[in-house]
């Protein structure tokens, strides 16, 4: 099975992404829509939520209830992502030790976390004069 997304940019730095029957816009400048790194942080945190829920069940915390994640990305001098942090709040009363186990299990389960491995680099093909 593969995932398919079509990204189109007619001009400038904004791109429309067609994902099945959904459409999202990402603007590298952040002027018209979320920028690329904000979109990455949103995807990472959105993937981490279900991983937390499963991790909570698997590590004895049960149903976590409402989950809020404040994600932050620190940029280096070249405006590239240097680090990511999550401030996670859950409704359930979970002690620190169990919380650490849930967090670690969630990292094991999160597909976006896995995809951010340094050895994962996009293979490419390029075709000029295509339109």
pLDDT confidence of 57, banded at 50, 70, 90?
very high
Same domain (yes/no): 57, 94:
yes
Same domain (yes/no): 91, 101:
yes
Residue 33, pLDDT > 90, answer yes
Quote the number of domains for the chain. Answer: 2
- Helix %, strand %, coil % for the chain, to 5? 30, 25, 40
pLDDT digits (tens, 9 = 90+) for 73-129: 999 999 988 899 999 999 999 999 999 999 999 999 999 999 987 776 777 787 877
For residue 131, the model assigns a pLDDT of 64
**Domain carrying residue 17:** 1-34
- For residues 94 and 100, give the distance between their C-alpha atoms in angstroms, rounded to a whole number: 10
Q: Is 105 helix (H, G, I), strand (E, B) or coil?
A: helix
- Which residue, 6, 2, 84, 1, is CA-closest to 40? 84
Q: Is 107 helix (H, G, I), strand (E, B) or coil?
A: helix
For residue 129, the model assigns a pLDDT of 79
């Amino acid at each position: 099975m593969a995932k398919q997304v079509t990204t189109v940019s007619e001009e400038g730095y904004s791109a429309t992404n067609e994902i099945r029957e959904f459409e999202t816009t990402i603007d590298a400048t952040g002027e018209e829509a979320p920028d690329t790194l904000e979109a990455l942080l949103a995807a990472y945190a959105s993937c981490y939520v279900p991983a937390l829920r499963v991790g909570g069940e698997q590590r004895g915390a049960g149903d976590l209830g409402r989950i809020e994640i404040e994600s932050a990305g620190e940029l280096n001098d070249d405006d590239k992502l240097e680090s990511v942090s999550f401030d996670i709040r859950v409704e359930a009363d979970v002690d620190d030790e169990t919380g650490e186990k849930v967090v670690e299990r969630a990292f094991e389960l999160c597909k976006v976390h896995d995809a951010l491995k340094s050895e994962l680099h996009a293979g490419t093909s390029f075709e000029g004069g295509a339109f």
